[in-house]
Structure 1
Amino acid sequence: MKRIGLIALAAFVGGVSAIGAYKLLDHNSDALSLTEKQNVLFASNPSKIASTGAIDFVQAAAAVSPAVVHIKTTFSGTSSSGGNSPMDMMEQLFGGGGRRQQRAPRAASGSGVILTPDGYIVTNNHVVENAEKVEVVLSDRRKVVAKVIGTDPNTDLALIKVEASNLPIVKMGNSDNVQIGEWVLAVGFPLNLQTTVTAGIVSAKGRAIGILGREQQLPTEEEYEEYQRTGRAPAPKANSSIESYIQTDAAINPGNSGGALVNANGELVGINAAIASQTGTNEGYGFAIPVNLAKKILEDFKKYGAVKRGFIGVSFQPLDADAAERLNIKDINGLYVNDVVAGGAAEAAGIKKGDIIKKIGETDIYDSPDLQEKIGRMSPGDKVQLTILREGKLKALSVTLKGDSNVASTKTASAVKTGSTMGKLGASFAPAPAELKARYRVKSGVVVTGVEPGKLFDTLDLSKGLLITSVNGKPVNSEKEVQDALPFSRNGMTVISGVGPNGSFTFTF
């Protein structure tokens, strides 16, 4: 009897603590990160079964389904090569090859997962990219307009927000603990059906399928038009995508994009993103973005409106027997360093061309995703230990990651006249020389000639030498045009687009 009383008391104290924490969260919601909110909300509801130990999925499906939403997007005008539909990713992976035909989709749909009761929702970048309007259909059949907080084509992740409260949510799990052979559920809105739950196992981890790299290599409309006029193919583009998918045989179809991949305990372990198919529908293999990578990207969206990525500053190729033979080396495991970016983190740490990256921390490196996903979870300024093989000897090096703009060339900025600093942005601009615009194949642009420490451009890691092509969708060719474009923000959000040594970028704040 005494034992029952103690159990009842413990349950009461836990319940009171959870309610108090929730009230505190409710009053100070925006100050907490997405992960902190989740920790508070699930503090009194610990996992009761192992993620691989459930006999059936009734409880997991019931817990997750109300928090997986249907996302409907609308577009206007003609489509570009940017990929407006959730079908586009599937078509690029196993589509007809070559350039896609121009289409003008009026509407498309996908899925999303609610992470916080106040309406933060994770989905895929390709679900909401270029959409003029994003609507979310909640489990109670309400339809609400969502605001896009941030998008990242390099990981195919996006964060959107709806104005609502007390929404059902999915608990974020730990994708590092996912095991091959573990049962998982895919939850979403495939083929315009209502909430659908399918089951399968984890077939593999750390899969790179080349779909995001192919998206980045697609020419823009301007490049395609120039190719038709002149016959000159556009210059190759840098590939900064991160692919380290969880592969599953749970049935995933078009419309599942952005939906939940959960373990048998109902914990979110991945965001469904793509399928391998000759027909465009499920043939047995689906791919999900690990939630541990998503956590970092989503927190950046919430804080900055864009991703602040840390870079090592090397190009590399995975080793196997064939690659080792071509390179005339003995090692068949690791990443062979083809080149080191001047001014990058690797150069500063002493990494050289011809080194072989064998470990990140205590984790052995066998393929690109082994390194890229872990670096993708980190930010500029973070330190990481890499073990490299050089001339037959292992060497541990501490590498301080840099932002992509930290290695941008400053020669361009010094070659143009410095403009006055604009207070709101904390930066100065000057018209971009014609040869610079020709090099980057853009028709407009101003060069960032100065950045004030602690101001907006500095916090976004936008540095001297970068080329800003548009502000709030308006082309800019002078500092005055930048100033004139600032008031044309949409929903209070300013959008700045440009290009640098690592490719094009867009920041929303």
Structure 2
Amino acid sequence: MKKISSLLLVAVFAGAFTLGAYKLFFENTNYKVVTQEGENTTFKTNYTPTSPKGAGINELDFTTAAETTVNAVVHVKNVTLSSGPTNIMEFFYGSKSSQTPQVGTGSGVIISSDGYIVTNNHVIDKANKLQVTLNNNKTYDAELIGTDPNTDIALLKIDAKKHLPYLAFGDSDNVKIGEWVLAVGNPFNLTSTVTAGIVSAKARALGQIDQSFIQTDAAVNPGNSGGALVNTNGDLVGINTAITSQTGSYVGYSFAVPSNIAKKVVEDIMEYGNVLKGIIGITTPHMNSPYAIENGINEIEGVYVDGVTSGSGAEDAEIQSGDIIKKIDDIKVKKFADLTGYISAKRPGDEVILTLDRDNEVLEIPVTLKERQTLIVPVMGIEIKNLTEEDMKNFNTKTGVKIIGVPETYRGYGLYGKILLSVDDEKINNIQEAKTLFGRISRYGKTSITMLNSKGERERLIFQ
């Protein structure tokens, strides 16, 4: 009997121990938080099991995109020759001072198997010689096919005598904020280097630049300019262009030209030799201006139409002042950069559908883009327009642009109404070429402009 009692006691203690261990170590306890007033506070919880690899970035695989990209990203070397300071012998006898080679570096992306390479215009600007080094360390001389300083895109060509690895353009309109991207380039003269980050913002405007950018926190440093921004599939979604930094090195913000814009620029250069840019033909107020604040325009989600340009597609489509653009095609428009970013990938003659809010009525209106005919050039602020057939006949010229607006600073020079033929001896054919040439002017150097007056006489002015 004692033996049976002992066994029973041992069984009871073993059962109690087992039950206690289960309660302590295995059973999930549900807690409910109750306020003193008796109101329940509910917390939403995600019960998805944690991956054994960890959460987030560890579950992503960047290796395929990196392996695809590094061999299609190249090192670009720009050699320029700069003259030394003028000496007394040169002043009296015309002897030429020695020219010192200066080397600049950047990155580029191979976009076709036969050697076409896209990079930034500022990487190759004023180059006397261009060289491209592939990721396998083979170096080739490069030919400059064309540039577009307005978008900071340039197109190069090398003859490698073999098929090269290249990247396909992706659709930058489909890039989403928070999406993982890789930046690939040659920072600090290293071979192709890969950094990862996310898309921080789209259609980001930078200062006075008439361009929208993809913003990312992938590390970009000097030498990355012209390199690739790719998604995790290895599709080219941007060309790395700029960073915001007070030190000259990466501090958390970098910007890329969207691939749709870069692709359109490259196609225009290859087909037409220059870039064709279409416009809707509207004016909008600055969002932080007193006018916008007083009228509540700065709080509008969309693009407020303040005016319509004469002869534009907007005028033909009867767009009105006061309309608010909410969408262009299938792209939502929250700010002006959303609109300009999408339009930058279009050409004159293309049709877009604008979704408007007009007095609380939603309208969908087709608009045909037209080529810009007037603009204000940088630095000097002169307003110019392309020549009409009548202008060409009256001034007996087929080149140049007409000056139709002069800021107060230059009104004493008799510029108004004359034909601007060249800037620093570089000929002008249209307003876009004029904008590019004026954009190169240094505020601290001398600039010469050549004009044609109504009598057919050429005038040359030098500004300092």
- Give the TM-score normalised by structure 1: 0.61
1:149 equivalent to 2:145? Answer: yes
Q: 1:72 is aligned with what amino acid? A: K
The answer (yes or no) to whether the contact 2:281–2:315 under 8 Å persists in 1 is yes
Please state whether the residue corresponding to 2:241 is helix, strand or coil. strand
Pairwise CA distance, 1:68: 0.4
8 Å CA contact 1:318, 1:334 repeated in 2: no
> 1:113 touches 1:259 (CA, 8 Å); kept in 2?
yes
User: Aligned partners of 2:202 and 2:62: how far apart in 1?
Assistant: 22
Percentage identity across aligned positions?
44
Q: Give yes or no for the alignment of 1:67 onto 2:103.
A: no
Does structure 2 conserve the Cα–Cα contact (< 8 Å) formed by 1:467 and 1:500? Answer: no
Kindly provide the CA deviation profile for residues 72-126 of structure 1, in whole angstroms up to 9, marking residues without a partner as x: 11222369xxxxxxxxxxxxxxxxxxxxxxxx98221110000111111011111
Structure 2 vs 1, CA of residues 409 and 135 (structure 1 numbering), >3 Å: closer, same or farther? closer
1:287 aligns with 2:240: no
How many Å separate the matches in 2 of 1:466 and 1:189?
A: 45
Structure 1 residues 340 and 503, CA gap change in structure 2 (3 angstroms): farther
| Compared CA separation, residues 60 and 353, structure 1 to 2 (3 A) | same
Q: How does 1:174-185 map to 2 (within 5 A)?
A: 174-185=171-182
Pair 1:324–1:500, CA change in 2 (3 A): closer
> Which residue matches 1:497?
428
Change (3 A) 1:323 1:280: farther
Shift of 1:175: 2.0
1:262-298: CA deviations, max 9, x gaps? 1122221111111121211011111111112221111
Q: Higher relative contact order at CA 8 Å, sep ≥6: structure 1 or structure 2?
A: 1
Unmatched 5+ stretches in structure 2: 1-56, 85-99, 376-384, 438-464
Partner of 2:309: 341
RMSD (Å) for aligned C-alpha atoms = 3.6
**For residues 54 and 246 of structure 1, do their structure 2 counterparts lie closer, same or farther at Cα, with a shift above 3 Å needed?**
farther
In structure 2, the residue matched to 1:107 is 103
Kindly indicate whether the alpha-carbon contact (under 8 Å) linking 1:148 and 1:159 is maintained by their aligned counterparts in 2.
yes
Which is higher, the Rg of structure 1 or of structure 2? Answer: 2
Structure with the larger helix share: 1
* Among 337, 347, 353, the residue aligned to 1:369: 337
Q: CA deviation at 1:469?
A: 2.1
Range that drifts further, 134-143 or 368-377: 134-143
Native 8 Å contact 1:319 1:333 kept in 2: no
Secondary structure of the structure 2 residue equivalent to 1:170:
coil
- Indicate how the Cα distance of structure 1 residues 438 and 391 shifts in structure 2: closer, same or farther if over 3 A, else same: closer
Q: CA deviation at 1:337?
A: 2.0
Give the drift of 1:351.
1.9
2:391 partner amino acid: S
CA distance in 2, matches of 1:430, 1:274: 34
- Partner Cα distance (2:435, 2:215) in 1: 29
Secondary structure of 1:171's aligned partner: coil
Deviation at 1:467, TM superposition (A): 4.6
Matched, 1:469 2:422: yes
Following the alignment from structure 1 to structure 2, what is the Cα–Cα distance between the partners of residues 357 and 186?
A: 33
Aligned counterparts of 1:327 and 1:105: Cα–Cα separation in 2: 56
Match of 1:162 among 158, 161, 182: 158
C-alpha displacement of 1:378: 0.9
1:76–1:320 CA distance, 2 compared to 1 (3 A): closer
Cα distance in 2 for partners of 1:370, 1:437 equals: 29
- 2:321 corresponds in structure 1 to 353
**Pair 1:199-2:130 in alignment:** no
Task: Find the residue that maps to 1:288 and give its secondary structure.
Answer: strand
Partner SS, residue 258 of structure 1: coil
Question: 1:401, CA displacement in angstroms?
Answer: 0.6
Shift of 1:168: 1.4
- The alignment partner of 1:127 has SS state of helix
Cα pair 1:74 1:134 within 8 Å, conserved = yes
**Matched residues in 1 for 2:172 and 2:298: separation?**
33
Q: CA deviation at 1:252?
A: 0.4
Question: Which residue identity is paired with 1:242?
Answer: Q
Which residue of 2 is the match for residue 450 of structure 1? none
Do 1:54 and 1:265's aligned partners in 2 also have CA atoms closer than 8 Å? no
Q: 2:278 aligns to what SS in structure 1?
A: coil
- Which sections of structure 1, spanning at least 5 residues, go unmatched? 1-51, 80-103, 215-240, 420-427, 448-464, 476-495
Q: Compute the displacement of 1:207 (Å).
A: 1.5
Per the TM alignment, residue 172 of structure 1 is displaced from its structure 2 partner at its CA by 2.3
TM-score, normalised via structure 2 length:
0.67
Matched, 1:272 2:248: no
2:362, 2:176 → 1: CA distance? 30
Q: Distance in 2 between matches of 1:398 and 1:264?
A: 36
Aligned mates of 1:295, 1:121 — CA distance in 2: 11
Using the TM superposition, give the Cα deviation of residue 188 of structure 1 relative to its aligned residue in structure 2, in angstroms. 0.5
